[in-house]
Amino acid sequence: MKKVAIIGSGTMGNGIAHTFAQNNFQVSLIDVSDDALKKALITIEKNLDRQVVKGVISDGDKSKTLANIQTFNNLKEGVGDADLVVEAASENLETKLKIFKELDNLTKPETILASNTSSISITKIASITNRTDRVIGMHFMNPVPVMKLVEVIRGYSTSNEVTNTVLELSKSLSKSPVEVNDYPGFVANRILMPMINEAIYTLFEGVAGVAEIDTVMKLGMAHPMGPLQLADFIGLDVCLSILEVLHKGFGNPKYAPCPLLVNMVAAGKKGVKSGEGFYSYDHGTKDLIVAEKFRK
């Protein structure tokens, strides 16, 4: 297995492409937008430059990594000879179902189809294909080149062979894969999102301010990043989407998104990606400034 196709060139997609290419895989990075692909390559090169400065890789490694990546805006051309396809498109069920239906028709019968979904059912995604045994979840963590964890999500029909192949493949990327079963939110987000949601409720109910909530969790619980800053980093729209999947999947009110989160997403305040969430990012993310809405 040496040829990998990545669908989606956003934050997760370009990070996954970077990681595979750096480990000597031939990578096809696919996106409908030429501008998005150009931006992705710029991001990958900047991240490689950081690794060179830190002594993690050499200039030669950087050049080889970039040479391992080809870009495509045509799905058929990009996935035709792939041994593995990793979908990292929008966290939207209908979008994913459409992509996987196309992939089932465009790829070799033996190609493994993986999704980087953070919450959507692998079993449901697989059901749209004629290869339910070869569909699996590979949930990478952001930033992908740095974070070690890969949640390997086994759908109801995913075979032992495919699961073991993906576990070993993840190890070859210097990752630490963990096999989990296919239930809403898997493990990472089933635990993380209720914590973030509770932090938003704590703010919503006036218990404490943004900086105070994050400081308590950083200093008291040894979290490297407070839950509200982390929500901004993930994207408030993504947090809302995952909570909605959890709420619908389990039918439990404890997963109901906080009204404040719902309103912020509706207002376009999605965190780092939009320049404002619980913090303002107009001046960069190194100096965190609480957003005007939440200042006392």
Give the Å distances, CA to CA, from 7 to 27, 107, 255, 264: 11, 13, 30, 28
**18 tagged catalytic:** no
Q: Which of 47, 87, 116, 139 is catalytic?
A: 139
Q: What is the DSSP string of 262-290?
A: HHHHHTT--BGGGTBSSEE-TT-SSS-EE
**139 tagged catalytic:** yes
Strand (E) positions, 31-148? 69-72, 84-87, 112-115, 135-140
Q: Which of 14, 119, 121, 189 is catalytic?
A: 189
**151 tagged catalytic:** yes
Q: Which of 87, 91, 116, 151 is catalytic?
A: 151
Cis peptide before 143 (omega within 30 of 0): yes
Q: How far apart are CA 182 and CA 173, in angstroms?
A: 23
Q: Which of 118, 121, 241, 280 is catalytic?
A: 118
- Residues comprising the chain, all counted: 296
* Residue showing tokens 């982390």: 230
CA 86 to chain centre: 11
Catalytic positions are 118, 139, 151, 189
